[in-house]
Chain A
């Protein structure tokens, strides 16, 4: 057998790789299926997704009520009915048992090892296992189905057993926030200038404050573009840092640019005229 035999277990996060559909129904597929069956037998598993063996292909094997192994290639759940919560175990999280809500009955389409399309209905434990395995093929584990608190509790329990995921954490501080900090300070002082006319201030000073506001608008906009460019560069180093993502940065940019323009407009009305 040329395919590598391996069982992916926590904290190996290859499990989160979404599987791609099988396009070639050839000898390699048969070898992967045979290897998966061996792992199932060795571990007494009721089901297995190919990604649990490190192969990111859309292959699910499950034991039916007779103990025969069903080969589900490229399975898709079309319909579901009812919801039942029941305790589940999976090979990926050793020694963890957790209550997971699942559909009671599902209807699915899948292909066999020769690429022929079939459909089936499953209920009870079989439906439960199929759902769990299909979740794996889309990059989800059973912890994707529970609350954040439950997930953290499980991870804590696993950590007690010495199983700690290698986390690439987003740094608590980032140098790009300096761009925001400077902008916020400029905006704050620009905002204060809007009230200058309430005080007995000379025309020359008012004119200087107006000039400060005009420059401030430009500087804040430049800083925000600098923030975005620097942030994108910085984000490349921390792939798990969700706050580095473009949406958040654009949001931060937009807020300050809008504020700068609004204050600039206010300055034009109150100080410029």
Chain B
């Protein structure tokens, strides 16, 4: 009998846990430890943030779903990993602290044979003074609750505009090292769409601010869409879209402080600026969730298991090589920790070897460039791949992972909403292959343009809406869920 413990139940953790439960016999245990009681289809938070969906439309209770399939669910946050066991324990274990199920605050040891770290990120609002909805002045759409709050603030703003008041809106990234520019991109165009529907767009001054060095970078060094047999850059596509909607942009920007109604930022040329706002949604930077690791004698070995940014080290090249030497092969393939073969990390929780976008710094030494995204389709694929490897290691006694899913070898599809509506909605449907450019295999832009294309229109919105229902159906493990791709 083996016990697999999955820390986190986001897209990648939930995918890994549910497939393992489906594949492994009842003699094996699958335990999910997550501080949340609900599963959240995060891509649709954008629509919650503009009032087109409610929180209940994008979340569901995990407990009944896990109970139905026999997953041992513990509503708790992981505190530490003890890969060699402890003074009183010979087997590896994690310590957890309950956040629900009537055991709030209780601590527990959970031993494991295999551990999947899928904790996702800590939303590091603290990295920028005044950022975030809790201790700051900006809103967020990173969680369903944040998105609900964002919509409440947006509706107040719309009410003011209906009263004839001009309002300033700033949307983008709240730090020089943010990822998820795509979410901010979706939000700014959805806000624009809602303001047009409300008939108040002319009273809003909307500005985009981000850490991208060019518009349309999206954290992956830009996309290249096939056009006339050649690739067209996402910069041209994005610039025309922003211009059409009357949205000016500030790029290469590190937001270093937010005050009530005022954003302070530094740009790649070292200059500083200020932006006034009445409503601002800025994505925070991500970091690891702060898990600690301890050796058998109780000494701290967090640095051995985790990279300095708090994400778990896997089979990637962390030598810190310069940009000109970055290679596709630097990226992990099996997501197995090099020191502990029974520990894996999936989704945002694995430490990337380096960025995808060109690393850049201001003359003051402030790094300003997008960090690599590990969300959406790739995180689901990685979760399933790791589950397949662990299944084979348990059932076929494989001594190493049997499956691989490097982001430099996989493609990804993304449907970015630019406004919700059955007849007037719009979304950009994009695919990239591979996610991480492989400059050796595809000299030039590093991607295969036959599998890299994009288009914007109403059909994209319908696809996005269908995907919303499809992935919620899959996550609820309803009949046929295994047939729905990641």
On A, residues with C-beta under 8 Å from B are 13-14, 16-18, 20-21, 23-25, 56, 74, 76-79, 107-109, 117, 119, 135, 138-140, 144, 168, 236, 239-240, 242, 245-248, 250-252, 254
Partner-binding segment picked from B168-176, B182-190, B265-273, B371-379: B265-273
Residue B26 at the chain A interface, CB threshold 8 Å = no
Q: Does B360 contact A139, Cβ atoms closer than 8 Å?
A: no
Q: Does B455 contact A254, Cβ atoms closer than 8 Å?
A: no
Residues in B whose Cβ lies below 8 Å from that of A240:
227-229
**How far in angstroms is the closest Cβ of chain B from A9?**
16
Q: Does A20 contact B363, Cβ atoms closer than 8 Å?
A: no
Partner-binding segment picked from B14-22, B137-145, B231-239, B310-318: B231-239
Residues in A whose Cβ lies below 8 Å from that of B226:
239
Residue B472 at the chain A interface, CB threshold 8 Å = no
Residues in A whose Cβ lies below 8 Å from that of B456:
247
Q: How far is the CA of A185 from the CA of B358 in the complex (A)?
A: 53
Q: Does A250 contact B459, Cβ atoms closer than 8 Å?
A: yes
Residues in A whose Cβ lies below 8 Å from that of B252:
76, 78, 109
Q: Does B457 contact A242, Cβ atoms closer than 8 Å?
A: no
Contact A76 B445, CB 8 Å, known A21-B358, A109-B269? no
On B, residues with C-beta under 8 Å from A are 213-214, 221-222, 224, 226-233, 235-236, 250-252, 267-271, 323-324, 326, 358, 360-361, 363, 429, 431, 439, 444-446, 450, 453, 455-460, 462-463, 466
Task: Summarize A's interface: helix, strand, loop or mixed.
Answer: mixed
Q: Does A139 contact B230, Cβ atoms closer than 8 Å?
A: yes
**How far in angstroms is the closest Cβ of chain A from B370?**
13
Residues in B whose Cβ lies below 8 Å from that of A20:
439, 444-446
**How far in angstroms is the closest Cβ of chain A from B178?**
17
**How far in angstroms is the closest Cβ of chain B from A118?**
9
Q: How far is the CA of A164 from the CA of B446 in the complex (A)?
A: 30
Q: Does A117 contact B361, Cβ atoms closer than 8 Å?
A: yes
Q: Does A251 contact B228, Cβ atoms closer than 8 Å?
A: no
Residues in B whose Cβ lies below 8 Å from that of A77:
214
Of the candidates A117, A236, A239, the one whose C-beta lies within 8 Å of that of B360 is A117
| Inter-chain pairs besides A17-B445, A78-B213, A139-B230, 20 sampled, C-beta below 8 Å | A16-B227, A18-B222, A18-B233, A18-B445, A56-B445, A74-B358, A76-B213, A76-B252, A78-B250, A107-B271, A108-B269, A109-B360, A119-B270, A144-B236, A240-B229, A246-B431, A246-B453, A251-B457, A251-B463, A252-B459
Residues in A whose Cβ lies below 8 Å from that of B231:
16-18, 139
A-B contact pairs, 14 of them (CB 8 A): A13-B229, A16-B230, A16-B232, A18-B222, A18-B233, A76-B213, A78-B252, A78-B268, A119-B363, A138-B214, A140-B232, A242-B227, A242-B455, A250-B429
Q: Does A78 contact B269, Cβ atoms closer than 8 Å?
A: yes
**How far in angstroms is the closest Cβ of chain A from B385?**
24
Residues in A whose Cβ lies below 8 Å from that of B324:
23-25
**How far in angstroms is the closest Cβ of chain B from A120?**
8
Of the candidates A25, A79, A138, the one whose C-beta lies within 8 Å of that of B267 is A79
Residues in A whose Cβ lies below 8 Å from that of B457:
247-248, 251
Residues in B whose Cβ lies below 8 Å from that of A247:
429, 455-457, 459-460, 463
Residues in A whose Cβ lies below 8 Å from that of B222:
18
Q: Does A119 contact B232, Cβ atoms closer than 8 Å?
A: no
Which residue of chain A has the shortest Cβ distance to B221 in the bound complex? Answer: A21
Q: Does A139 contact B232, Cβ atoms closer than 8 Å?
A: yes
Residues in A whose Cβ lies below 8 Å from that of B466:
254
Q: How far is the CA of A240 from the CA of B225 in the complex (A)?
A: 11
Q: How far is the CA of A17 from the CA of B447 in the complex (A)?
A: 12
**How far in angstroms is the closest Cβ of chain B from A81?**
10
Q: Does B230 contact A251, Cβ atoms closer than 8 Å?
A: no
Q: Does B459 contact A251, Cβ atoms closer than 8 Å?
A: yes
Q: Does A140 contact B233, Cβ atoms closer than 8 Å?
A: yes
Residues in A whose Cβ lies below 8 Å from that of B270:
119
**How far in angstroms is the closest Cβ of chain A from B15?**
23
Q: Does B213 contact A109, Cβ atoms closer than 8 Å?
A: yes
Q: Does B233 contact A138, Cβ atoms closer than 8 Å?
A: yes
